[in-house]
Every structure is written in C-alpha cells, then in structure tokens.
Structure 1
C-alpha cells in the first residue's frame, strides 16, 4: 500500500523507475486516471541516461494541461510502494504544465499494477 497526498487539488505520490540498472526516484508524481499513458520529465529521465535516440519517434500528446511532444522508452521497472510493473513503456516529455511535477501515472500503469485507489484513506494498493 502506498500513501497519496492531495496538494493544490492534485492527487500526488512518488515512484521509482529503473532504466539500464539506474534508479530514479520521482517525488511529485500526479496520479491521473484520465491520462492514457505514464509520462516522466525529460530533465529527470536524462539524469539516468534516458535520452531521445535517432530511431525514436517523436509525437504529440494532448490533455487537459495542454499538448506536448514526447518520445517513448521502455524501462526495466516502475515501482509505487510495493507494487511493481516490469518492461513498461513510458513517454518522456518536458511537462511544462504550469505546476511542479516529476511525472504522471497514467491508466496504462494503473491497469498493469491492478491498482485500487482509495480516496477516503488516500492510498493506492494492488487489487488482491
């Protein structure tokens, strides 16, 4: 089980991802059931060697926060509390939405984790 916080009307938590054996801890990650995909900040991703390469497709995603260009990378694993997803495709983008976020947990990751969000208790856990 992982605790969530509500800050400025946003549901936030933290998560860890591993790429080529390198660990990245993301502190301010938006839990967004309305986002189809999981997104990580370009600046933070680059700190562990996740960079756009020549063969990576760049494409536009759109949401309530606006639209931006991203590219995709498969990471070794993503961990939220005791829940873990392996070989997840993340979108990497600038994330200039007007508020400070390290990433967005989208429906793709929530479904893979079989996550159950309890708003009353402010927790997320795997469906047992």
Structure 2
C-alpha cells in the first residue's frame, strides 16, 4: 500500500518516467480518475529529453478548462507508488498554466496498473 497526498482538494503523487535510457521523477502529479488519459507537462517532459516533434500525433482534449492540445509519446516505462508499467504511452502538453501541477495521472495508467484508491485512508493499492 502506498500513501497519497491531499492538498488544496487534489490528490497528488509522484511519477517516475523512463525514456531512452533516462529516468525522471515528476512531482506534483494529480491523481485524476476523471481524466481518460495521463498527461505530463511539456516542461517536465523536456527535462527527461522528451520533445515535441512535427511528426507527433496531436490530440485535442476537452475538459473543465476548455480545449487543450497535446501529443502522444511512447515511453519505456512509468512507475508510481510501487506500480510499474512498461512500454506505455503518455500525453505531453500544457496542463497547468499557473505552474502548480506537472500533470495528471489518469484512468489509462491507473486501470492498467489495477489501482484501488482508498480515499478514507489516502492510500492506493493493487487489486487482487
């Protein structure tokens, strides 16, 4: 079981992304069960060497903040709170123009990892 953080009404965790032999821990990732896909901010992605290229597929997402544009990138792996997912895709784009969060951990990765959220005790653990 792994502890998650509650601050300002949002659930936070850290995510470690592996990309082309590099690894980067990205803090201030919001656990968002309302997000279909996980997204990492462009700034955080650039720190690990993930850049947006002309050939990338552009995705348009619509949410409470309106339309947002991102690209899909294949990464070598993602880890969070003891969960590990190899060879997966994450969206890269601008997620928080105020700079207070670095991305969203969405349903795509939460479901693939089999995460169960215990909101009363602020913990996540694996489904059996």
> How much has 1:66 moved relative to structure 2?
2.9
State the 4+ residue runs in structure 1 displaced beyond 3 angstroms: none
Matched length: 128
> How much has 1:98 moved relative to structure 2?
4.1
CA contact 2:37–2:107 (8 Å) conserved in 1? yes
CA distance, structure 2, for counterparts of residue 34 and residue 43 of structure 1: 23
- Where structure 1 has 5 or more consecutive residues not aligned to the other structure, the ranges are none
- Where structure 2 has 5 or more consecutive residues not aligned to the other structure, the ranges are none
CA contact 2:58–2:69 (8 Å) conserved in 1? yes
TM-score (norm 2): 0.93
TM-score (norm 1): 0.93
CA contact 1:65–1:97 (8 Å) conserved in 2? no
**Residues 99 and 11 of structure 1: is their aligned pair in 2 closer, same or farther, counting only changes over 3 Å?**
farther
**Is 1:127 aligned to 2:127, yes or no?**
yes
Could you tell me which residue of structure 2 aligns to residue 63 of structure 1? 63
> How much has 1:57 moved relative to structure 2?
1.6
The range that moved more, 49-58 or 76-85, is 49-58
> How much has 1:91 moved relative to structure 2?
0.4
> How much has 1:65 moved relative to structure 2?
3.1
1:30-59 deviation digits (Å, cap 9, x = unpaired): 001110000001011011111112311223
Could you tell me which residue of structure 2 aligns to residue 113 of structure 1? 113
What CA RMSD, in Å, does the superposition of the two structures yield over aligned residues?
1.3
